[in-house]
Chains A and B, each alone.
Chain A
């Protein structure tokens, strides 16, 4: 079971990892230095990008967990073997969650280390006989604790979205259907969070519009983890009762 899921997840998450690397490269080279405001450190921009990237990766990663197997009739291959439905659902979810976490944390760590490099190694390109075109004008580095609190919260959001997408995937017969449904629900959630403290705190923290760190803490990660757990347990109960 784990062998098969690792095999499948490697295929699925490889393009996602490439996406993270591409975005990382963009933010560490072209995009970050071109900005001149005070909110222009690599990691600030990375957090904004990775918030949406992680939600997208969670939707893509979770949408086909059950739906694709239902649509292609391959689920009966697993369900008729001596493996409990609890194990099937748990392994499928945990493998995707692990891949998502490793990719997010790994790339974020690299981006954080890149930000710690002396400026001359970060970017900046001087054409022969000209001025430097791109460079960090305002090296506004984010403290490590705050940086990884933000990443932890984003990971929590990613896991909650993954659990939600996996749940929706049970009812769908195609990954596309699951993706569309999840995006619609995610839009609803974003609209909800837009008015909630959490979203405002992330916005303030990232954009440095207001004085930073208005109560956003590592505890929020556990709140989101609770939400992911509730969605996971709901999905598991539905999966165990569903007729395939």
Chain B
């Protein structure tokens, strides 16, 4: 096993080759260490640390303004960072950004293709910009997506532009594909087809996909690992199946008034949400033990609920916000005293 903690402490590698001989040996495609980004006085990413395993389909989630796009832009060198370190495919992006981008494909949230060009012209442009270009692969994708080299890009539908952008990102056979809201603006059917194409073409080849999305259903459909961030901070990061396995929800109702504090103090309860007269408890670990505790407290009904990603996402975000508010309140009270 390679020691990454040690390699982070080393001086930047000035050679063009990565520290390890090939990407397959590296367990992480992306290593973000205490990334700190600001827009003027506003903190966009606050000491974010993240490791994306090689070969993973990794969902990067968060509400609007959470810092997802800023993180992705920093990974790609579109903007600088005020602190921290990023290694992409084992290349330090501050010293070996070009080498990292040579093996990385990017699909932008908004259409970033030259509308005045024809498909063949933009393919030629992309080919000349990459030294790893595979024309046969590109032709295969153009056939797969039913794209003709004589079609003008401005005349293509939104879905076809997305497919062309994906083909261009895959033409250089990247080891890492970064997608920023890849399906935004597509109808549900196109979205489904597009995602299936991505998974079929990319993840099966053992490549890593790192993608951000607002659509939690699609993340659940294809991601095997997720990270949720808010206000630039990491809230949770784990395998999706693990989260679902360990995070359970219990719906409970009482005939008498109950203190939320009492529910929060039950071992295994991570967060309590009040839903009208009922409570939804986010539980990590054995939900049945929590259910038994609730019955001891005199619960009228106790129901174990399966957590989907959307429920997990909301629960984690609400938990984060309430904790932040509580902390802020406490600080304010301390200051008053």
Contact = CB atoms under 8 A, between A and B. Distances in A.
Interface of A: 1-4, 7-8, 11, 72-84, 241, 243-244
Interface of B: 73, 76-80, 98-99, 101-102, 104, 106, 108, 110-117, 121, 124-126, 128-131
B62 to A, nearest CB: 20
A77 B79 CA distance: 14
A227 B104 CA distance: 39
28 contacts: A1-B129, A2-B128, A3-B128, A4-B128, A7-B117, A7-B125, A72-B115, A73-B112, A74-B113, A74-B114, A75-B112, A76-B106, A76-B108, A76-B112, A77-B108, A77-B114, A78-B129, A79-B77, A79-B78, A80-B78, A80-B101, A81-B126, A81-B129, A82-B102, A83-B98, A243-B73, A243-B79, A243-B80
A73 B108 contact: yes
B113 A1 contact: no
Contact of B113 (A77, A241, A244): A77
Contacts of B131: 82
A80 B176 CA distance: 13
Contacts of B114: 4, 8, 74, 77
A135 B257 CA distance: 106
Given A1-B129, A244-B78, A81 B101 contact: yes
Nearest to A79: B78
Contacts of A241: 80
A81 B130 contact: yes
Nearest to A88: B129
B116 A11 contact: yes
B106 A80 contact: yes
Sorted nearest first, the 10 A-B pairs with minimum C-beta distance are A243-B79, A82-B102, A81-B129, A80-B106, A4-B125, A82-B101, A77-B112, A76-B112, A80-B76, A82-B98
B209 to A, nearest CB: 16
Contacts of B117: 7
Contacts of A2: 128
Q: Which among A8, A11, A78, A80 has the highest number of chain B CB atoms within 10 Å?
A: A80
Contacts of B124: 3
A241 B81 CA distance: 11
A76 B78 contact: yes
Contact of A73 (B99, B110, B129): B110
A121 B287 CA distance: 100
A83 B108 CA distance: 17
B75 to A, nearest CB: 10
Nearest to B104: A80
A8 B126 CA distance: 15
A81 B79 CA distance: 14
B98 A84 contact: yes
Nearest to A81: B129
A73 B110 CA distance: 7
A82 B112 contact: no
B78 A243 contact: yes
B80 to A, nearest CB: 7
B108 A82 contact: no
B89 to A, nearest CB: 12
